[in-house]
Amino acid sequence: MESKLVALGLETFKIALMLALPALLTGMFIGLAVSIFQATTQINEQTLSFTPKIAKSFLKPDELKLYTLIYRKKFETNYR
């Protein structure tokens, strides 16, 4: 019983990580690109670093619907 509970917890953690990873990586790469742009042009305005991240947060969930659906269904079928 305890091993099943531990396995379920590990699988839940893996699924949560896989679902969050694309959004986190996208935010990291956008932040890196904005930082490089700011360093090369010496423009240090806060809205320049904030606006692309906000745009990403509105656009990225639509792109990930199928991705999240696949992992959720896989998890549900394994642990019913």
User: Which residues lie below 8 Å from residue 40, measured CB to CB, with a gap of 6+?
Assistant: none
Domain boundaries in the chain? 2-78
Contact predicate 78/11, CB 8 Å: yes
pLDDT of the residue at 59: 66
**What does the pLDDT look like over 15-33, one tens digit per residue?**
888 888 877 888 888 888 8
pTM: 0.63
